[in-house]
Amino acid sequence: MSPPVTSIIKPALIVVDLQEDFLPPNGSLAVSNGRDTIPIINNLLTLPFHLKIATKDWHPSNHISFASNHAATHLKNEGITHVYVVGLAADYCVKCTAEDSATEGFNTFIIEEGTRAVDPTSWETMNLGLKGVKVVSVTGEEVNQVRKLGN
């Protein structure tokens, strides 16, 4: 008999660009309803993720989100198997971070309630075009697997 799923996952939470520049009302690149993600993300931060990583928007001339900060190496060194991504903006940095994670071989999820898109009308279409990434609910089984790790 195979072990329960909760015994074989080692999850990480990546919070992308949850910073004032992307939050209304004063952010220079404010994402509509971006502040609505904060309580969801704060709740997720209480869950027993093995790693919790926050990124901030900074674009030096040679910027490549996942590569430039050696995230894949760090996650692999920690034995991470599942990556959950939240933050701003869904249709840009969150999408790219999640796709980079999937390309690196991690089981990757975007938690829908924990992100907002610059263009909310593109969200559904973007979901269909994600490569190797599953969009999940904060109340779904994928997040419940993380909750069960604390039991």
Q: What is the pLDDT of residue 151?
A: 81
Reference 47, options 7, 12, 97, 78; nearest CA is 12
CA distance 88 to 18: 6
Structural domain including 28 reads 5-149
CA distance 41 to 54: 11
Reference 103, options 68, 77, 66, 70; nearest CA is 66
pLDDT tens per residue across span 37-89: 999 999 999 999 999 999 887 544 554 555 555 889 999 999 999 999 999 99
CATH of the domain at 143: 3.40.50.850
Q: What is the pLDDT of residue 59?
A: 46
Reference 86, options 148, 28, 34, 25; nearest CA is 34
Question: Which residue in the block uniquely carries the two structure tokens 């952010």?
Answer: 27
Q: What is the pLDDT of residue 150?
A: 87
Instruction: State the pLDDT confidence band at 6, using cuts at 50, 70 and 90.
Output: very low
Q: What is the pLDDT of residue 2?
A: 46
DSSP letter at 11?
E
- Kindly state the tokens that stand for 14: 């990546």
Query: How many domains does the chain divide into?
Result: 1
SS3 per residue for 96-117: HHHHHHHHCCCEEEEEEEEEEC
CB 87 within 8 A of CB 18: yes
pTM across the whole model = 0.88
